[in-house]
Structure 1
Amino acid sequence: MAIAMPALFKADERAHAAYAVALSQGTLPTIDTDIPDDPVRYPQLADSLFGADEAHRDIWVANHPPLFYVMSLPLVWLGDAVGSPGVTLLGMRLLNALGFALTTIMVGFVARELVPRRPVVPVIASAMALGCGAMTFVGGGIYNDGWSSAAAFLTLYLGFRMVRRGVTRERLVAATAVGVAAAGFRSTGLVAVLFLGACVLMAMWLREPSLRTFLRTTLWRAVGLAACVGLAPVVVFGWFYLRNIRLYGNPTASGFLFEKFGREPDGTTFSQLVDPGFYGHLLSSLWADGNISNAWGQVAAVVLTLTAIGLVMEVVARSGPPGAGFLQRTRLAPQATAEHRQDRVIWTLLGCYCLLILVNVAGFVAGGGWIHARYAVPFLPFLAAGAALAALRLGRLVPQRAPADDETRDLRIGLGVSLAFMVVGLMCHLDTEQHVDGPVSSTFALAALVAADLVMFAVAAYVATQLRRRMQPSEFDTAPAPVAPVTDIARDRPQDSTADARTSRPT
């Protein structure tokens, strides 16, 4: 979509582009700074301002931290050097598209942490992200959402890795650096940093033999490390949020923007949270946003319905007596007690992360904001992992010509479901092309999208292959041997007896 849409086609694009232009001129804009109206140097920006009201002639996205726009400065300078601002605009679109591509991959990696013993789950999860028509449409515009989502998911992923592998200096430094970047792209990155700190606390707790030992020997060290993780973004980008408070009264300038655009409140946060229509609109936006036909919102209803049915069947198959057919238990690699606790902690942390983001979105809508697909992206890892598990269970309803073990059957189901999601994404793109009169032919745009999808699918398949190779059942037969820690940040001690691992039963 980056090459298929006309320049500055989407509403916020000119404001995001103008933010980068203002930075290139040595100015950190406010939400009242004028968008450059220079028909010679920036003809596209000048043309887009024709007929715009006063509020929409300003850089109203200047409430966002500047990291994405700092990354865009070389593109602005390149456009100025070659005398073509179109190079800058297309470059910023491609920069956002790269961020969304990384987001798609990170959806799979986070899903892998949620369901570590089903190697095909990351493939299905990433394919579901590719199948969301709005991901392609939003990813083709000038937005900071691609990189902010990728950084937030990577922050969570690194936190979850510490829950599973322990806290070392290298992991802590890497996670803190990514957390700082997440806070520098959007304010929602601060939520990911908050849960990164929670991951550090939980990781160090799980490495102790008991809660009492943790409270007596490790608690304050864990709190100190979590505080360092949280303070790093404050040190680097705290000045910007303090600037927003001084200029607009709060860190995100939401109230100031509502007043600027004449938005009217729509109930309360609680009333939005108990309104089923709020959830339907939020989730359907992944397939019906902007110029995408509302009919594609029905895909969300189908996916959610099948996910609910499949998850119920999965729970019945796991908790009930051994069944047959589609309710037969899946034979998985044995799981030690510690690994089961890690699973529960990670699911709980991600669920709480989604809940906090949900409350923020509900508050934004209650204040007069609109729902866009960008606000539903943070829920993708949680939704995609659940949808993948449901698909693997529902796939058992399809008869197979040749008998196969559980892993082979999962692989077949996963490939089929992944291809189905990508076909949905392509069809949604083709339908959108009918409503967007872009500078290139729809045939060329379709070929580019197919090529990109194939690359992403190849990456996901490679990840699944590596996971399948590395996660052999023999790795779970015995408890991991004690390994000397890289640093003394957290003691690395075995948590489960060999007997616990060997006597585990498949679920």
Structure 2
Amino acid sequence: MAPRVRRVLLDGVRGRDWATPVVLAATLFVLVAAVARIASTEPLSSTDESAHVDYALRVWHGQLPVLMDGVRFRPGFGHHPPVQWVAQHPPLYYVLLAPLVGPLVDGGHPVQAVVAARVVNALVVAGIVPAAAWAASRCFPGARRLPATVAVVSAFTAVLVVQAGVVYNDSLAALLGALACGVAGAALRSGLTPRLLVGGALVTAAGMTTRLSFALWLVAVAVAFLLARTVRLGRLRGVWARVVVALVPVAAAAAASGWFWVRNTIVAGSFSGRPKPWPGWVPRAHFTDGEVATKPSFWKQLFALYRGALDLRDPVPWTLLLVPLLLVAVAAVVLVVRRATDRRGERAVRSAEAWPRALVVAMLVTVVVLFVLVEIRYMAGGGAPINRYTLAVWVPIAIAVAAGLGASRRAAVVLVPAWTLLALVPIWSLLHFAGATLVPHSRTLVLGATVLAGVLTAATIVLFVLGELDGLRRRRQDDTTAAPTTAVPTAPAPTATPDGDQPIASDSTAR
């Protein structure tokens, strides 16, 4: 393969390992699969979708919905909730949809309005794929093939395809959560720059103006800024600089969304605005936290990420999720054992990156644990564990699955393609080739999109395998070059920056 072609196909745009053709092919797959899903399902096929579209229409008319006002968008098809039970969500997602939904509904085209909103939502979901790849590259900058694997894992996850074909604000929250994860990882691994500080403020402000569950990532970003590898803020240095930058994302989020949470308290009676009982409401059973945590159904429903339209008892979804997680657990144990038996000099070389890497791993694990605890409390209070909620912490899960599949680079050449092909089973179950009766040319759209999705699947697999084989070739070359060297290098001691700010560890993340 010519060097220029290899650089473009395998190394990414300008050497960015998250901007490779593999990531592009995976992103396009999600878009095409979303088209097939949109054309497969009737508009407003769920009551939740009806409520979300109604919210966008209210925003177009300069209003914010209220729970007991009900849903005003009743076009004569689909399902409609008895109350406006998504009124507790902030309005950013609906502001994006309103310029399309409003004019189409007002012009007498309700079906086209729903389809247009779904297309915008599909673009948002497709953005999760490169965002997750970028986040992986920021969290683990030395793992050059991890972003491509994360992109493949994300694109071929059935719940993302489901989410891409409906109008739910979980989509934007998941995208912003992926970006927040990357911002936090970059701060911990490479240090905090003014550019990253501004980016973190914008992402957290947008996230808290989309969905309350983003608060998990707001906390993660604030803590990451506090513990960033290095911090420079004008003339301010040391601990006070860290405190100030940690408060910036919190202040940005409060400035952007604080007014809405105050409104929730006034209108709905609580900060979260969780729906209250209404006439005809049938309450769900309440449980203790311990009862929820020991219910198999809680875990099966919350983490049914690869279910598609398959039965919960089908082994395919759980094979796709649990086998990679088992592999990453085994790889972690092997890594710990190897590190424990390393020579002291080799440990010293690696120690420069050990602390920042440990902070990133701790952040990812903590966010997932906190998410599970929140969902336990939610179900204990009468809520339902829905798999799309888990997209709030998608990047940590995607990194874990990708790390399991890629724990052995030689095995990854076979494992990732095999996993990808198996992941098509639940995605295939989501498609209805008869099409949706209300969507024009739906049968043709489903068939054409399915064929194109197959082509993109093949392209994704081929590009991924080429990248892995090239990586193995490079490793063999590096091993051959380094073989005559026997001296053990020593790690440079961390040094203070010229302005006196002491980094957590010496900066060695440049590639």
TM-score tier, shorter chain, comes to: 0.7 to 0.9
Compared CA separation, residues 436 and 267, structure 1 to 2 (3 A)? farther
1:483, distance to aligned residue in structure 2 (A): 13
Alpha-carbon distance in structure 2 between the residues aligned to 1:483 and 1:438: 66
Q: Tell me the equivalent position of 2:303.
A: 283
1:231, distance to aligned residue in structure 2 (A): 1.5
User: Which string of whole-angstrom CA distances, capped at 9 and with x for unpartnered residues, describes residues 123-178 of structure 1?
Assistant: 33232223322221222011111111101110121121111221111110011101
Alpha-carbon distance in structure 1 between the residues aligned to 2:246 and 2:55: 33
Alpha-carbon distance in structure 2 between the residues aligned to 1:45 and 1:372: 27
Contact 2:127/2:175, CA 8 A, preserved across alignment: yes
1:207 lines up with 2:235 in the alignment:
no
For 1:81-92, list aligned pairs within 5 A.
83-92=108-117
For 1:155-174, list aligned pairs within 5 A.
155-174=180-199
User: Which string of whole-angstrom CA distances, capped at 9 and with x for unpartnered residues, describes residues 300-331 of structure 1?
Assistant: 32234423431343134334469xxxxxxxxx
1:243 lines up with 2:244 in the alignment:
no
1:253, distance to aligned residue in structure 2 (A): 2.0
Compared CA separation, residues 178 and 7, structure 1 to 2 (3 A)? same
Identify the match of residue 362 of structure 1 among 376, 388, 392.
376
Q: Tell me the equivalent position of 1:313.
A: 330
Alpha-carbon distance in structure 1 between the residues aligned to 2:306 and 2:221: 30
Contact 2:132/2:179, CA 8 A, preserved across alignment: no
Consecutive unaligned residues in structure 1, runs of 5 or more: 38-43, 209-215, 323-331, 397-405, 502-507
1:449, distance to aligned residue in structure 2 (A): 4.6
Give aligned pairs, total.
447
1:25 lines up with 2:39 in the alignment:
no
1:181, distance to aligned residue in structure 2 (A): 0.7
Read off the aligned partner of 1:162 and give its amino acid letter: A
Moved more, 3-12 or 111-120: 111-120
Compared CA separation, residues 417 and 218, structure 1 to 2 (3 A)? farther
Q: Tell me the equivalent position of 2:130.
A: 105
Q: Tell me the equivalent position of 1:149.
A: 174
Alpha-carbon distance in structure 2 between the residues aligned to 1:48 and 1:357: 32
User: Which string of whole-angstrom CA distances, capped at 9 and with x for unpartnered residues, describes residues 271-318 of structure 1?
Assistant: 32343442222112x2336xx232575333223442343134313433
Read off the aligned partner of 2:320 and give its amino acid letter: V
Read off the aligned partner of 2:267 and give its amino acid letter: L
Contact 2:92/2:210, CA 8 A, preserved across alignment: yes
Q: Tell me the equivalent position of 1:337.
A: 351
Q: Tell me the equivalent position of 2:310.
A: 293
User: Which string of whole-angstrom CA distances, capped at 9 and with x for unpartnered residues, describes residues 345-383 of structure 1?
Assistant: 011111111111111111111111122221122343222
Read off the aligned partner of 1:168 and give its amino acid letter: T
1:413, distance to aligned residue in structure 2 (A): 3.6
Compared CA separation, residues 239 and 117, structure 1 to 2 (3 A)? same
Read off the aligned partner of 2:112 and give its amino acid letter: V
Read off the aligned partner of 1:352 and give its amino acid letter: T
Compared CA separation, residues 452 and 246, structure 1 to 2 (3 A)? farther
SS of equivalent residue, structure 1 residue 141: coil
Alpha-carbon distance in structure 2 between the residues aligned to 1:425 and 1:335: 45
Read off the aligned partner of 2:327 and give its amino acid letter: G
Contact 2:190/2:507, CA 8 A, preserved across alignment: no
Read off the aligned partner of 1:444 and give its amino acid letter: L
Contact 2:190/2:230, CA 8 A, preserved across alignment: no
Moved more, 67-76 or 334-343: 334-343
1:36 lines up with 2:72 in the alignment:
yes
1:240, distance to aligned residue in structure 2 (A): 0.5
Moved more, 271-280 or 358-367: 271-280
Contact 1:63/1:244, CA 8 A, preserved across alignment: yes
User: Which string of whole-angstrom CA distances, capped at 9 and with x for unpartnered residues, describes residues 172-231 of structure 1?
Assistant: 00111011111111111222111110110111xx339xxxxxxx9622321222112101
User: Which string of whole-angstrom CA distances, capped at 9 and with x for unpartnered residues, describes residues 437-490 of structure 1?
Assistant: 67455563153255357669968959x969979x9989xx998999999x98x9
Compared CA separation, residues 308 and 225, structure 1 to 2 (3 A)? closer
Percent identical pairs in the alignment equals 21
Consecutive unaligned residues in structure 2, runs of 5 or more: 1-36, 340-345, 482-488
Compared CA separation, residues 321 and 96, structure 1 to 2 (3 A)? closer
Compared CA separation, residues 72 and 447, structure 1 to 2 (3 A)? same
